[in-house]
């Protein structure tokens, strides 16, 4: 499944913890990277949570940033 086919993914994050978001759309753990990008030109995007909360991760492919602004 390509990133364009993905929808917004809600994710619980913990303040200070690092997360790596899938940018290739191949991860079985979307929105998190699972290493499936290995044979693509994509690399995961690192995100460090600034608070413990639920975030919306963009899955539409239109946004150049991880955090979704259309929710
Ligand atoms: S699995 Fe998609 S960027 Fe790593």
Is CATH 2.60.40 the right assignment for the domain spanning 3-57?
Answer: no
**Nearest-CA neighbor of 70 among 13, 12, 8?**
8
**Nearest-atom index, ligand 1, CA of 42:** 3
pLDDT exceeds 70 at position 61: no
Residue 33 Cα to ligand 1 midpoint, Å, equals 4
- Residue-wise pLDDT for 1-57, tens only, equals 555 556 778 899 999 999 999 888 889 998 899 999 999 999 999 999 999 999 988
Taking the centre of ligand 1 as the mean of its atom positions, its distance from the CA of residue 56, in whole angstroms, is 17
Give the CA distances from residue 26 to residues 9, 13, 18, 56, 70, in Å, rounded to whole numbers and listed in that order: 15, 21, 20, 19, 23
Say if residues 30 and 9 touch (Cβ distance below 8 Å): yes
Query: What is the whole-number distance in angstroms between the Cα of residue 18 and the centre of ligand 1?
Result: 15
> Confidence class of residue 65 from pLDDT cuts 50, 70 and 90?
low
Candidates 4, 26, 57, 59: which one to mutate for ligand 1, based on the most atoms within 8 Å of Cβ? 26
Domain ranges of the chain: 3-57
């Amino acid at each position: 499944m390509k990133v364009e086919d993905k929808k917004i993914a809600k994710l619980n994050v913990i303040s200070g913890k690092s997360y790596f978001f899938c940018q290739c759309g191949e991860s079985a753990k979307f929105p998190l990277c699972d290493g499936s990008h290995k044979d693509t030109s994509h690399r995961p995007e690192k995100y460090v949570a600034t608070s413990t909360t639920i975030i919306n991760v963009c899955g539409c492919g239109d946004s150049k940033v991880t955090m979704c602004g259309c929710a």
